[in-house]
Structures are given as C-alpha cells and as structure tokens.
Chain A
Amino acid sequence: EVQLVESGGGLVQPGRSLRLSCRTSGFTFSDYCMSWFRQAPGKGLEWVSFSRSKRDGGTVEYAASVTGRFTISRDDSKSIAYLQMNSLKTEDTAVYYCVRSQSLITFGGGLWGQGTLVTVSS
C-alpha cells in the first residue's frame, strides 16, 4: 500500500524557517516525481513545487510565490521528500500536501498525503 506521511508543520514566526518531511512507503520512491501543494485556510488549492526523479533529469520547479525562499529536495535512499521553507510570510500559512505522481509517465492527479499545517504568525 502506498503511503505518504507529512510532518514538520507547526507555528513559526514570520521570517523564520521550517522544513517539512514526507516519508513514503509502498513504492520505489526513486522512480517517481514528487510534488508539494498547499491550501490556505478556507481557500483553494495551490501548487508549490515539483521534483523530477533522477531518471527524469532530477530537476525542480517552483511556483513564483515561493521561488528563492523554498527548496524541494529528496533522499532516495530514505524514500523521503523535503520542503525547506525560509523567510516565511504570513501568507504561507496553509496545509501542505506531499503528492506522488500517479505513474512514471504522468502526474495525473497524483497520490496525496494527509497534509501538515504550517502557521506563520507572530
């Protein structure tokens, strides 16, 4: 069974940093592209970042709103994806979801974790 479990969320002051982790199991992590999405309280969904597998080039993508502040990474040996969030702003407050691509070929809606809440407030 595929499982994705996010952790690392919590309350943090503006300007500080936080690192989210996504521990996975039930599939060969190194083969799959991984993404992070978020949802602010009472708002819609927003894509945050994307990490290609090594077989797909290993490159990354970011939403404009987080470029230069957030870094996506992965440890294929541990089957964990990370999202390092620096210079946090109040507008980064959201539930953050880790998502595995649906297959090796396409994102296709993906398989979603349950999310971890990040609250940025003084």
Chain B
Amino acid sequence: EIVMTQSPATLSVSPGERATLSCRATQSVSNNLAWYQQKPGQAPRPLIFGASTRATGIPARFSGSGSGAEFTLTISSLQSEDFAVYYCQQYHDWPWTFGQGTKVEIK
C-alpha cells in the first residue's frame, strides 16, 4: 500500500499570504495525484488532478506541482474562504490512499 504523508499537520497563515502544503508518497505515483479542500459538514471539493491541473471552476490562486513521490499545493494569496482542511490522494495504484490532511487556519 502506498502511504501518503502530508506536512505540516496545521498551517497558520494570515489572509493574503502564500500557503505551501506538501504531500509525499512512499513510492512513485507518477502524476496520479489529486488535492481536495474540505470544510466542516461539506463533501470534499476536488481542486487539482493530474498533480497540476485545476479542476473546473477552481481559482488560479490554487496551483499544484510535483511528480513521482513529492507534491506541493500552493495557494498564492489566501482568501477567507480558503481556510479549510486539504487532502492529497493518489489514484495510481490500489488501494487508493489519502494523506492525513493539512488544516489551514487563520493566523
């Protein structure tokens, strides 16, 4: 099983600042990596797939990078609605697996 590890667990950021979230896999997942945003009581919202492609309707301030086993989600200028939990997920091999999440909170 591919284990996904996200860091940090919590990220405290001021509105308008940049946030950088990391996701590491125990083996290569090629570019079969998605990022999700989840707010309390809501379903996960896909942000990025294929490691770097924004899903439909996702603002340009969200960007994904990386391939193989190291990935990054960058939020260029945090807006109030961006404070949430973010998950990475690999869909390269079975079983599909998620990172434990990074909570982005207001500093």
Once A and B bind, how many residue pairs between them come within 8 Å at the CB atom? Answer: 62
Contact A45 B87 (CB under 8 A): yes
Q: How far is the CB of A118 from chain B (nearest CB, A)?
A: 15
| Partner pick for A47 among B35, B38, B45, B98, CB 8 A cutoff | B98
Q: Which residues of chain B are within 8 angstroms of A102 by Cβ–Cβ distance?
A: 46, 49, 55
A45 and B98 in contact, given A102-B49, A102-B55, A109-B48 (Cβ under 8 angstroms): yes
Interface size on B, residues (CB 8 A): 26
Let me know if A56 is at the binding interface, CB within 8 A.
Answer: no
Interface size on A, residues (CB 8 A): 20
Q: Which of A50, A97, A108 has the most CB of B within 10 A?
A: A108
Q: How far is the CB of A45 from chain B (nearest CB, A)?
A: 5
Contact A109 B43 (CB under 8 A): no
Q: Which residues of chain B are within 8 angstroms of A63 by Cβ–Cβ distance?
A: 95
Q: Which residues of chain B are within 8 angstroms of A110 by Cβ–Cβ distance?
A: 46
Q: Which residues of chain A are within 8 angstroms of B34 by Cβ–Cβ distance?
A: 107-109
Q: How far is the CB of B69 from chain A (nearest CB, A)?
A: 19
- Give A106 to B35 CA distance when docked, in angstroms: 15
Q: Which residues of chain A are within 8 angstroms of B95 by Cβ–Cβ distance?
A: 47, 61, 63-64
Contact A106 B50 (CB under 8 A): yes
Q: How far is the CB of B56 from chain A (nearest CB, A)?
A: 9
Contact B94 A109 (CB under 8 A): no
Q: Which residues of chain A are within 8 angstroms of B96 by Cβ–Cβ distance?
A: 47, 50, 107
A44 and B101 in contact, given A102-B55, A108-B49, A109-B49 (Cβ under 8 angstroms): yes
Q: Which residues of chain A are within 8 angstroms of B46 by Cβ–Cβ distance?
A: 102, 108-112
Q: What are 23 A-B residue pairs whose CB atoms fall within 8 Å in the complex?
A: A44-B100, A47-B89, A47-B95, A47-B96, A50-B94, A50-B96, A97-B44, A102-B55, A106-B50, A107-B91, A108-B46, A108-B49, A108-B53, A108-B91, A109-B35, A109-B36, A109-B47, A109-B49, A111-B46, A112-B43, A112-B44, A114-B43, A115-B43
Further 10 A-B residue pairs, CB within 8 A, beyond A47-B89, A108-B49, A110-B46: A45-B38, A45-B44, A46-B98, A47-B97, A61-B95, A102-B49, A107-B34, A108-B34, A108-B91, A109-B47
